[in-house]
Amino acid sequence: MVDHIYGRINLLRKAYRPHLFVNELKIYIAYLKEQLSKADLSDSKPAKYYRAFCKNMQDAVEYYYSRADSILKDNTNDREMFIHELQEIKQEIRDLEV
């Protein structure tokens, strides 16, 4: 473990870990699902809030997608996985739209 901390070996090389932005979006989706299950969407105020929430998340996905080359410029495999996960998240958001 000490060698990993000081950069002499890489213990995480074989383990795939989603990008921070992907994890963040997944947290927001989980939050949105929970809130939608509790919400009364017959009232226009909460429905308007959740539509705006979904729109902001879609904008975030598009922004991350447009910046994928600069975010993961060194590793094409990670970049492809990042883009694939963004596409999955985008579809999940579409499925949740109010």
HEC-encoded secondary structure of 33-61: HHHHHHCCCCCHHHHHHHHHHHHHHHHHH
- Asked if residues 13 and 24 have their Cβ atoms less than 8 Å apart, the reply is no
d(CA 55, CA 70): 24
- In this prediction, residue 44 has a pLDDT band, given cuts at 50, 70 and 90, of confident
pLDDT of residue 92 exceeding 70, the answer is: yes
Domain boundaries, the chain: 17-96
Count of positions (residues) in the chain: 98
Query: What is the spatial distance between Cα 93 and Cα 39, in angstroms, rounded to a whole number?
Result: 17
Q: d(Cα 16, Cα 6) in Å, to the nearest integer?
A: 21
Q: Give the mean pLDDT of 52-69.
A: 94
CA–CA separation, 58 and 94 (whole Å) = 9
pTM: 0.78
CA distance 39 to 32: 10
